[in-house]
Structures are given as C-alpha cells and as structure tokens.
C-alpha cells in the first residue's frame, strides 16, 4: 500500500491520502486527493513499505518522486465526486519487496457487491473524537458490508436533503455533476460503533473479502466520519479498467507487477 505525502499549509510533508501500487511505476488513488486547493502538487511524494509512521525503527520504507499526475479526463475539481480516480506515475521503478508489492486489479466487471463483505485499509483516523487529526500513524483495516448502488444513491440523496445527517454536516446537492453514476461507484455501510472511513483514508484501496483484488478507491463519507445511516462512497475500479490500462502504458517501456501475498489466504 502507498502513503501519499505532501505539503498542505505545513512546512513539512504530511500524510494526505492512501493509494494502491498497481505496477512498477504507478499508484492508483482518488482524483480529489490531487486538488490544488488541498495540496501543493510539486511537493508530492509516495512512501512505500510504511506501517507505523510514528517510528523510524522499521527502516523499510522508501519515498519516490512523482513524475506525472494523471487525473481521469472527466473529473472536475471542487468537490464533484464522479470520476474520482487518478494515477501517479513515479519517476523511477519501484524496488519490490515483501512489504512493497502490487495489488491485482479486477479481471472484469465486479458489480456493486451488494451484501458482500469488503475490506478497506488506510491511515485515516479511527475515532470521531480524533477528528482534529488528519491521519492515524498506524495502517489499519476494517471489514464492512457493501450495499447496492441503487440503495446507496437513495440514502445519499435523502441525507443530502437533510434526512439523516445533522444540518451542520449537510453537503451541497450538486456534488454529483450529471447525476449519480451508480455503475461507477461502490458503497459500504459503516459499523454501528462509528467505525468507517475518515480523514486520511481518501484514495486507499477497498478489497472484496476473500478475493485479493482492489475493487474500489476511497472517495467520500457523508457527515461526520462513521455515521452508520449513510453509505460511504468508493470509486468502482472495474468501471475504469480500460482507462487504467491506457493511462499506465508507457511508450517503449514495460512495467512489471509483483503481487503481494494474498492476506485472506494467509489469514486461513
């Protein structure tokens, strides 16, 4: 997994988003992570091999410069959530290791995975009471349940109209320019104890439990983090496979993959 670090208003680089290593030169993440109102793009670095950013004892992480930021051509900045997908082309080949490896892409359409268990991993904060923080130092993972795209759309529309999310947490209704593209999104319901995606998780991978492949990219949560009444939103990777293949092609160069050990098999 990749940790994206950049300068925001701070002098030093801080964690801003997560990402997935898809080949020896590219990181898959969310397009909104690259909004110029959010980060200073020329300060962006990708850290690989990290687990706990509060300690240097590990000594295994490596940072890479970014050669090119590739946003989906239909993505619009300023909070619009359709086409929220991007690739980062690194300036040099990744040195693969046991903790630095690629996550496979889907072979084809994944569907909305309704009713299935999905796993998200990231450095986002883990408790709403820590909402003043931008991230958590330790990489964490969480299992949730995916919901149908239609149910997701209906609940988000209700929430944006003030039905389920407190007034102070309402978001403008125009965040889905051109309408909610249900075939481009995945949705999952946070746990009732308030566990879900939060600040620092954007761009991180969503995996289908038991199937080692990145099926989603963390896009957005509505209201405060972890509200169980409103599904969380992910960009559906299988909807963008052709774009990913075209965008990762480098003329005259061949990229490589070195897939990580399947954690679901290892858990057995």
Q: Would you name the residues annotated as active-site residues? A: 32, 84, 202
Q: How far apart are CA 112 and CA 151, in angstroms?
A: 11
| Coil, strand or helix at 183 | helix
Residues 229 and 159: beta-carbon distance below 8 Å: yes
Report which DSSP code applies to 129. G
Establish how many alpha carbons lie within 13 A of residue 70's alpha carbon, considering only the half-sphere containing its beta carbon. 18
Q: Which residue has the tokens 């991993």?
A: 121
Burial of 78 (0-12, 13-18, 19+ CB in 10 A): exposed
Report which DSSP code applies to 106. P
Q: C-alpha distances in angstroms, 39 versus 18, 34, 42, 137, 213?
A: 14, 7, 9, 19, 28
Contacts of 220 (CB under 8 A, 6+ apart): 32, 81, 84, 175, 202, 232, 233
Six token digits for residue 166: 């407190």
């Amino acid at each position: 997994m990749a940790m994206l670090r950049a300068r925001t208003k701070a002098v030093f680089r801080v964690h801003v988003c997560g990402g997935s290593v898809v080949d020896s030169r590219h990181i898959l993440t969310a397009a909104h992570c690259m909004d110029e109102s959010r980060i200073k793009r020329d300060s962006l670095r990708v850290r690989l091999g990290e687990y706990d950013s509060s300690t240097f004892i590990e000594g295994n992480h490596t940072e890479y410069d970014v050669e090119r930021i590739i946003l989906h051509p239909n993505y619009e900045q300023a909070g619009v959530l359709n086409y929220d997908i991007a690739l980062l082309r690194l300036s040099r080949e990744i040195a693969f290791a046991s903790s630095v490896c690629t996550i496979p892409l889907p072979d084809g359409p994944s569907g909305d995975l309704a009713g299935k268990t999905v796993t998200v991993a990231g450095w986002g904060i883990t408790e709403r009471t820590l909402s003043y923080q931008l991230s958590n130092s330790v990489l964490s993972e969480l299992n949730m349940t995916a919901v149908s795209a239609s149910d997701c759309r209906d609940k988000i529309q209700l929430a944006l109209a003030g039905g389920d999310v407190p007034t102070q947490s309402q978001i403008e209704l125009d965040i889905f320019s051109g309408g909610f593209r249900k075939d481009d999104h995945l949705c999952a319901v946070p746990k009732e104890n308030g566990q879900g995606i939060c600040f620092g998780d954007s761009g991180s991978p969503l995996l289908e439990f038991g199937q080692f492949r990145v099926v989603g990219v963390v896009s957005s949560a509505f209201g405060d983090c972890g509200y169980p009444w409103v599904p969380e939103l992910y960009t559906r990777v299988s909807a963008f496979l052709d774009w990913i293949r075209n965008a990762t092609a480098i003329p005259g160069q061949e990229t490589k993959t070195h897939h990580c050990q399947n954690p679901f098999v290892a858990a057995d």
